[in-house]
Structure 1
């Protein structure tokens, strides 16, 4: 069984550590955190490993997971590479925005590099552990590293998806569109309902079926066929009136409305017309 050392005792590191330990995929030998208490908490959650508060105390391993924030990946990797030989080891991080090339210090030490980005929220590690099966993970890196990590991911029910490291930032932006900016647009809808005199709780109930049915249609039919409304109908007189009214109510929301019209028109142009029934 390959040994695994985890740098970073946060939610992602703890979750992967516990899943791999429970599956018998990796022998978790150490957890490094900024404090001894945090390292000990990580070890307790995982159920294995030696708690380390400095990189020199982290046990040598076959595989190193850098489960740290994006801004700490490069310095954490440099510290790891300076602390021990890495020839033949696998070093990977879990950033959705950075490619495995950020681990260059480990490569210089002879390590094989990869990145594994689990596509889900880790707000509650215990809940994620219980329902991890089926989680997609964006992967890229050296062939030898992936040959080790892909079976390890599959052993805990993950669904690895290969991504282009050169497009890693665009890949991560896709998640922002699908999650963060979707919330921003829905907030604009709820505020607009309230501007029309509808109480917030009622506004949520009005928007809920529209949003849920639209999402369902996107994933069932594809975005172009799911699109409806004035732009899809080519009713630009209504679009202009709405943008003017929204801008008069709230300038920033009016700007958002206007920014969405051109890409929505492009999407509408992709819509396949319904064929007349015989």
Structure 2
């Protein structure tokens, strides 16, 4: 069985480590986090592997999962190369939604000299609760690109753990990831804004969350059942632009940042209503 080092076993790294280990796809070797406590928590969750306290002590594995923040890719990869943990011809893959395998190669040309096989596999879902992700990972879309030799090893393993594989263009990775930010990260910010606005209107926080949950939940159901055009309701859809203008001014008077967010949605929503 091929060995797998996990460099950065946060929510994504430890979840994939546990899934790949439980399904006997790879043997978990070394697991690295910044603190001993984080390391022990990750090892307990994965149920396999040994703790790596310093990157300088890294031992080589057949496959290395780089699951650190994007901005740390270069320094961490250079440290792995210096430690001789990336041996010639081995596989290095990451789970970044915004950077491609080509981006990693450009950041660290030494990878090419070592003939490291590169890939990126980005699961399109939230990892807020790793235990829940492990229970229902089956059917998760995983956007992939990279060297054929790396994908030939990685994709069958991800298919076993339940991934739905979708190939993407590495040249459009940032635009692709922006879509995920809109669909997930900014959606959370938007709901947070809705709850805060309810509260500013005098609604109790628990009731505000229930109101937002009722509206947002049903709206998302309609979006994916009927399409965005049919799901759109509200004053812009009805053409009540005087209401929209007055409401925008009211929100801005209460909170300038929330008002700017309200204003930013007006023109895109007008365009959607026209369609």
Which of the five TM-score ranges fits, normalised by the shorter chain?
0.7 to 0.9
Point out where structure 2 has 5 or more consecutive residues left out of the alignment.
none
Point out where structure 1 has 5 or more consecutive residues left out of the alignment.
271-278
Q: CA deviation at 1:123?
A: 3.7
**TM-score when scaled to structure 1?**
0.86
Which residue does 2:221 correspond to in 1?
A: 216
Query: Given that residues 31 and 58 in structure 1 are in contact (C-alpha distance below 8 angstroms), is that contact kept between their aligned partners in structure 2?
Result: no
> What SS is found at the alignment partner of 1:60?
coil
> What SS is found at the alignment partner of 1:173?
helix
Kindly report the root-mean-square deviation, in angstroms, between the aligned alpha carbons of the 2 structures.
2.3
Which residue does 1:157 correspond to in 2?
A: 162
Which residue does 2:95 correspond to in 1?
A: 94
Which residue does 1:249 correspond to in 2?
A: 254
Q: Which residue, out of 188, 197, 202, partners 1:197?
A: 202
Q: Which stretch has the larger CA shift, 34-43 or 101-110?
A: 34-43
- Decide whether aligned partners of structure 1 residues 13 and 209 sit closer, same or farther in structure 2, where only a CA change above 3 A counts: closer
Matches within 5 A, 1:1-278: 1-35=1-35, 38-84=38-84, 86-104=87-105, 105=108, 106-270=111-275
Q: CA deviation at 1:39?
A: 4.2
Query: Given that residues 89 and 114 in structure 2 are in contact (C-alpha distance below 8 angstroms), is that contact kept between their aligned partners in structure 1?
Result: no
Query: Given that residues 98 and 174 in structure 2 are in contact (C-alpha distance below 8 angstroms), is that contact kept between their aligned partners in structure 1?
Result: yes
Q: Which stretch has the larger CA shift, 255-264 or 115-124?
A: 115-124
Deviation by residue 1:212-267 (Cα, 9 ceiling, x = unmatched): 22111111111112111221222222222222333333333322222111000111
Q: Which one has a bigger Cα radius of gyration?
A: 1
